[in-house]
Amino acid sequence: MFQYSEKVMDHFMHPRNVGEIENADGEGTVGNPICGDLMTFYIKVKDGRLADIKFKTFGCGAAIAVSSIVTEMAIGKTLEEAMAITNKMVAAELGGLPKNKLHCSNLGADALHAAIEDYWKKQGKAPIQRKRRAK
């Protein structure tokens, strides 16, 4: 049986940046109907950087931990730097996830990217083409 890392447990038990940003500059929601996880990310952008990020996640402990760590990985970064965050980077930052929970790391990166793309759309900018993520 796979044991979650201390970092996964910490982010699950004490998630960072939970909540909603009123009048968010960008919002992205993704879900996986197979496992029932649903994540929404809210972002505030200042001078091309992520000034604030909040999330609401309905899902398992791994999904909550992934959402929490993604906000910490992305805050303060430029939008382009945040778009470069991959599911592999998220899983590595958490010290690994069991194979049957790796899809959660995809959702976290995808929700962040969706929020940034929503922001760009609102700004009338074409989003940067995302590179195919390694699974």
Answer yes or no: 35 catalytic. yes
- Sign of CA pseudo-dihedral 122, 87, 75, 33: positive
d(CA 97, CA 117): 27
SS3 28: strand
Out of 90, 104, 109, 116, which one is annotated catalytic?
Answer: 104
Answer yes or no: 104 catalytic. yes
Out of 9, 18, 35, 89, which one is annotated catalytic?
Answer: 35
d(CA 21, CA 108): 17
DSSP class per residue in 116-127: HHHHHHHHT-PP
Kindly list the catalytic residues: 35, 104
